[in-house]
Each structure stands twice: as C-alpha cells, then as structure tokens.
Chain A
C-alpha cells in the first residue's frame, strides 16, 4: 500500500484494524480513534480519495490502496487550504476529532461541487465534534468551496 506518498509492504495480523496499524505500526498517531464503532468518524482517513473509517476496516483490506492520513495533508508552516481555513475559523477546540473532519471535508471538496451550508451540515454529520457545535467547521468547509 501507499501511505502519504510512501510505499509500505509487509505482513499484518489478520485481525488488526487499519487504525491500529496506522497508529501502532507506522506510528502515524494523528489518526484518532473515538468510538471503534464507526459512529463518530474521528478515525476517518482517505483511501483512494474516499473517506474511510479506519476503525471499521482491517489493515489487510487496505492492501494495494493509496491512503492519506492527517500527516499527509500538510504540516505546520505548510498547511493545506482546508487546514488553514480550519485554523482561521477556529473549527476545533480539543482537536481530537479534527483529523477525521479534515478527511471527510476533503472528500466533499474533491467532488468539485458547491454545496450550501445546510447541505454541508448534512454531509458532515458522519463526524462528531463534542466541542465546537459545528458552526465553525461548516464555515471553514464552505469557504474552501470558493
């Protein structure tokens, strides 16, 4: 598989989830696990450009895929447009859910379509944020559509 542009190959335990593989084996600890039940979206990453719940997928299922985690989206001093918008709007407080939101938002923006704020609220509802009440997140994603 390819993770953030780097090729990786090797054996993984059959029962290892993708999020545990990323965190424990590759030490990409920016992916956070919020519920292990596929309900909160904190662990969302991009798999072949689509938003993927890394807690619901086994590492072996990612065989041959191209994965992008938060570590592959930008770095301090060289933020992506979306990250910069999240920063400007203060679209996070504790920051635990943020990597997942960035992945879901990247998928939405990847469609190239423009959505209303109302539509974005619906589309972002697969991710839970307990701190912000969502408004700044919606604003940040809306702004990036321009």
Chain B
C-alpha cells in the first residue's frame, strides 16, 4: 500500500459539490459581519461617526477601535523586540490601505455593506513609508521605537569578505510581494453557547487558532473549540489568527448570535499576509576555477506595518548558502516597517528568497567566468560523503546527493542537445534561454507530530491527526500508512482532522511538515496498535506475539494457517479476554519528535523563448528532479510538485503585488494580480531521486513547497540566459524584458 498512487477518499464529495466548506454553513440566527477599511495607506483618524449606520436597516451593531481596545491580537506586543501591539480595529491611526476601521454586524451581508457606506470617517493623511531605502531613514512608524528597523541581525565577517581577492560578482535580487491567493478566501463563523466559543474557520492550524484566541480572550483553551471543514487552499495564508476572525468572536459574544465573516477577494489581496517581500544584495567571491571562496548576502525585509507569525524569522539567511560547500559566509537581515500589510507566510516561506538569491549569484558567477551554469554548480556542491553536513549558516543538512540529482536533471532534459538547439535558434534570430537551479530547503522545524489511532470494537479504525489537509491528500496518505502497518484495507480506515475537541493538540499543517512529522507519528501510533493486536492474537491463539503477522485483515501465526480475524481481535480488546498485563481497548496516541530537520532538495530546468518584439516570455519546458526521501503516494506527491511549480513560475513571470506612488494597492483584483493560467504553463516533466532521511521513521522529507522554491530561479536564470544579462527582476514583465532588449541593442 505504501508507495502506491491510491485515490483519495474525499474526492467523490469534492467532485460533486457535496463537500462542505465552512462558507456553506449558516447556523440558525446567523448575523453577518462586514468591515470598513481604510482607503488611505497612512492617516490619523480624527473622528468616526456611526450614527447613520446604527439606524441602517438590519443593523445590530457597529464597532470601532474603542470597542475592541482590550483585545490583543497575537503575537503579544514586546517593546524590547520592537513588536507593536495589534488591534482588531484601528485605534487612532490607520497604517496600511485596507486597515480595518469599523465593523458592522447585520441580518444580511447586503445590509451590513449598506451600513458601511453610512459610516463617516474623518482622516488626516500622513506621510507614507513605501520605499524601503526611505523607510530606513524616515521617522519611525511606531511610537516608542527608535527607527523603522524592527530588527537587524548579522553573522560572519562582512568586511573580510569585502576585502577578499578573487573573481567577484555582486548584484541585487528583488523578491517582490506575492499573494497566496487560495481560491477560497478566509472566513470564520463564531458562536457562543454556555461560555464556550465554537469558531468555524478555514485554517491550516486549528489548535494554534484556538490557543491564540484563548490568549486574546483570556479564556482557558478548553472553553474554545475550533472546527475546520474542507479548506479551499491556503498556501500559508490561513495559518494565524487575524483581525477579522477576532471581530466575529467579539461580535458573537456581544450579541449572543452566530456571526459570520467571509473575506472578499479585494479584501484578500489588500490584507492577506503577502509572501517574499525582500530585497537582497549579494557578493560572491570565487577563485579562477569558479570554486567559491566566500558569499555574503544582505536581505532587507519589507515587514509591512505590523508583526505577524514568522515576520522576524531568520530562515532565509540560514538557508542562504544553498546546496554549496561554502566556508566563508556573512549575512545581514533587517526588517523594516512600511505602510503596507504585514508580510506573512506563503509557500516556501523564507527558502525561495534564499534560493533565488544564491541561484542568481551562481549564474552571474558562471557568466563572469564563461563557465556553463551546470559546471559552476558541479564544482561547488556539497559532496555526498559530507553528510550530515554542518552548514556555515548553522544548519545540519541530514542527507543529500546534489551532484547526482543535477546530472539526472541534465540527462532528462537532454541538456547538451538543448544547448546545441539554442545556438542554432540564436543563429536564426530566435531568443532562447535555458536556466537551471539547484535548491535545498529546510523542513520539520524540530517539532513533533501527533496522531491517535483508535480501533472500534468492530475493527474499523479512526485516525485523528493535528494536521489540516487543504487539498494535499493527507487523509489518503495517512490511511495508507495505517493500512500498511495493520494489514487491513483502506476502506476500514477513516482519517479525521480539524476539530480541536477531538484531534490531538499539534501545530497544524505548515512548512511541509505533515507527512514527515504527523505521518511518522501516525505510523508509530499504528505500530503501537499493531503490537497490542498481536499480543491479543497471540494470547487467543496460544502463540508468541513475535510470531504473529498482520496482513489481509488477519493475524496469522507465521508458518501456519492458524489465524484470527482483525475484527475478532478488536472485539476481544473491548469485550473479551485481553492478555495479562494489558488493559482493555485498542488505541494509541503518539507525539513523535523528529531527530532534527530534514532537507529536501532538487534541481529544476526551464527553457524559455522570448519574443524580442513584445518582450513576452514563453515557458517552453519545465523539468524538475525532486528528492523528498521516501514517497508514500506518488500521485499525491506529484500533485504537490505540480502546484508548487505553477506558483514558482507564477512568481517568476506574472505575480507581483504593486502599489502606486501614493501607497495605494493597484493589484486588488485577479484582473490586475495575474495568477498562472493553463495557457501560460507547459506540461511539467517530473523525475525524482530518493535519498531517505534518518530524522523520522518514514524516511520522508517535505514535498509541499519544493516546486515553488526551485522553479522561480530556473525561469529567471533562463530569461537572463536568453538575454545575456544578470539584472532582471521578478516578475519578468514584457515591459521589463522589452526595455532590457532595447538597452542591449544600444
């Protein structure tokens, strides 16, 4: 069963429209919440007049900042760490376009929106922080802070690297903001009964939401139940508690009715945590043979106006050296406040920024030395015998085989032939580019996964997990694991998630952790159940537990035809005679800590053709060789890779959040914010290598984010290769390419 492309149990419901997404629920008596948002990026609120709105039809309540001044949205404010306080509604200032200013609760959504238009806010516009360089020296956005630099961390000897002799390349890599943009936006329905809050919410991490709410409301965790149904994608955007979700909870408690909020797409693009949001400067020093002597990178992070989960994280510099054996490394990471929405989590969360930076630098170095981009990588890869590898940035890479992986990519793509074809095409005046990128990422952030395997008296099995499938197919993968360990068919196993009153406490789904962490916990829990089942079978069959095999729904004494059925074992566990020393029942809950991080890796290759007249880029081929260790379900794994590749290509070619000079968001619709469509993508060519990890019993590494990490630099490197320049920035808009071609000709 393990390793097979098993179909998902939830698919028939999803394909027929009968699966219940949270938005489909409307408890009796539900009221609707709508939010008045700031039209300005930075302004003082002189006054808010809600009189007319209060008397608007259907309105139950209108809230402003004063009403929610007592509630602190996580993370907790911390003056020492420059973490400002976060409110559900603006207090005396708005700090970004779309900042929540007031909220209306009404009988219907239409009436709530009508009432919003009756609210009169008097704003006094203030200077805006948009440009990062200006923000560095501008007066501080947050009172009580000395500057707009929220943090400034550095390691390594930058001066020594600056003074180092050799072949030197330097450049800037922009990582513009991108929107996670799941097809389903955020939403929440809050309901109080007998002092217990039930929050139905579309999220990746129900337990974390419950915990944050408990802190926010000063209630015990046990008084909060978070329920999550089907989730219409997330990609990082539904991880932590947001202002709007807090407002449904507040309104519901005040009014004693269920309160529902559904995010509009414009709201999503305005206020969701944007991904990436950095600018990097690199300096790469090598010898004449292209062997790297030192690398230095300075990342300047556009934090937006507030702190959110992972805002201050150092994953990017710590993954900065990528797949290369680099002895001398210096980095700096600064987070800067601006009048934009908070930087949040998006697929890859820190690793794409590390990878795009060094992979651009590597191609730059290759061009400087007139070496093939594949060759420059070969000369610098960490070699297989160096694992576990202690990176200069502080991580211990568990396992890897980067050279082998790259050669597999080059062979699959027909690299030598491609270069010939490129030369021929160029002779005909066609502009073709080939780009490769090697990546390694970090997953399994030293936490544990949690799973409970419960066998009912009839032998059917419920697996309760703390992770939250948003389309990945966890239910199927986890059921495959249990099926393999208990020797029972998949249709006897149901995987349950998304209800904090029943699922074990845990971190939820993020950082490509679900299979490696929680899948491994599931396997270990299933093993515990299997051991006890064997003891029960052995006791009944008068054999030794060590001689019992579980397969095909039977326990068999090895080498004999003496059997007892799985169902009988389950029945004995609850109503029969269990072996001496065992208690009744058949279930196991496991929290399993990983032995360090796991480091998935791979190499991607892109072939592009550029139209020199229009500057448009056509992605002709995308080849990916990924290594995520042991694969449990190749169909599900390929789905993750495909989706990641599309998002990574999207970041390279089309996606980019833009603001105008006045600080207004100009990408607030899907007409302006371009997502990848079927027409712009090629058929993906996937291969895999398999280098298991010893950090978890499955031997699995993360696969959810890999596609989005390697593909962006592969495409950018391909376009830079096509044009013979090193300073193009994502997204590679036709305008930018057209201008680059024109300036090349001059």
Contacts and interface: CB of A to CB of B under 8 A. Distances in A.
Given A35-B670, A92-B14, A96-B233, A29 B24 contact: yes
A30 B16 contact: yes
A94 B231 contact: yes
Contacts of A94: 14, 182-184, 230-233, 470-471
B670 A130 contact: no
Interface in A122-146: 122, 124-125, 127-138
B670 A133 contact: no
A128 B643 contact: no
Given A96-B182, A96-B233, A98-B15, A35 B669 contact: yes
B311 to A, nearest CB: 23
B675 A79 contact: no
Nearest to A95: B14
Interface in A45-86: 69-71, 73-77, 79, 83, 86
B13 to A, nearest CB: 6
Interface of A: 13, 15-16, 23, 28-32, 34-37, 39-40, 42, 69-71, 73-77, 79, 83, 86-87, 90, 92-99, 102, 117, 120-122, 124-125, 127-138
Interface stretch (B81-89, B494-502, B582-590, B676-684): B676-684
Interface of B: 7-8, 11-21, 23-24, 110, 181-184, 230-233, 235, 264-266, 470-473, 635, 639, 642-643, 645-647, 669-671, 675-681, 683-684
Contacts, number: 168
B704 to A, nearest CB: 11
A87 B12 contact: yes
Given A69-B17, A95-B19, A135 B684 contact: yes
27 contacts: A16-B110, A29-B20, A35-B265, A35-B670, A37-B669, A37-B671, A39-B669, A39-B671, A69-B17, A70-B17, A71-B16, A90-B639, A93-B639, A94-B232, A95-B11, A95-B19, A98-B14, A99-B17, A125-B680, A128-B183, A130-B235, A130-B646, A130-B675, A132-B639, A132-B642, A134-B646, A136-B639
Contact of B471 (A34, A93, A128): A93
Given A93-B473, A128-B675, 20 more contacts: A13-B110, A15-B110, A16-B110, A30-B16, A70-B16, A79-B15, A86-B15, A87-B15, A92-B15, A93-B471, A93-B643, A94-B184, A94-B471, A95-B471, A97-B232, A124-B679, A131-B233, A131-B639, A133-B646, A135-B642
Nearest to B473: A93
B675 A133 contact: no
A97 B183 contact: yes
Given A35-B669, A94-B184, A75 B18 contact: yes
A76 B635 CA distance: 22
Contact of B232 (A13, A79, A96): A96
A37 B235 contact: no
Contacts of A117: 683
A77 B12 CA distance: 8
A76 B183 contact: no
A136 to B, nearest CB: 8
Contact of A75 (B16, B182, B678, B679): B16
A79 B16 contact: yes
Contacts of B471: 92-95, 131
B183 A34 contact: yes
Given A34-B183, A37-B671, A74 B16 contact: yes
B13 A121 contact: no
B15 A83 contact: yes
A136 B686 CA distance: 14
Contacts of B642: 132-133, 135-136
Given A32-B232, A96-B183, A133 B18 contact: no
| Shortest 3 CB-CB contacts between residues of A and residues of B | A30-B17, A96-B232, A94-B471
Which of B18, B19, B670 counts the most chain A CB atoms within 10 A?
B670
Given A34-B183, A90-B7, A130-B182, A76 B13 contact: yes
B184 A133 contact: no
A96 B184 contact: yes
Nearest to B15: A83
A138 B195 CA distance: 50
A87 B330 CA distance: 50
A133 B669 contact: no
B689 to A, nearest CB: 21
B184 to A, nearest CB: 5
Contacts of B12: 76-77, 79, 87
Contact of A128 (B17, B639, B670): B670
Contacts of B647: 130
Contacts of B675: 40, 128, 130
Contact of A36 (B265, B681, B683): B265
Contacts of A130: 181-183, 233, 235, 643, 646-647, 675
A86 B471 CA distance: 14
B477 to A, nearest CB: 13
Contacts of B645: 133
Contacts of A97: 183, 232
A120 to B, nearest CB: 8
Nearest to A71: B17
Contact of A124 (B110, B265, B646, B678): B678
A16 B110 CA distance: 9
A97 B669 CA distance: 17
A29 B17 contact: yes
A21 B70 CA distance: 39
A128 B15 contact: no
A32 B643 CA distance: 20
A133 B676 CA distance: 8
Nearest to A86: B15
B233 A125 contact: no
A76 B12 CA distance: 5
A95 B232 contact: yes
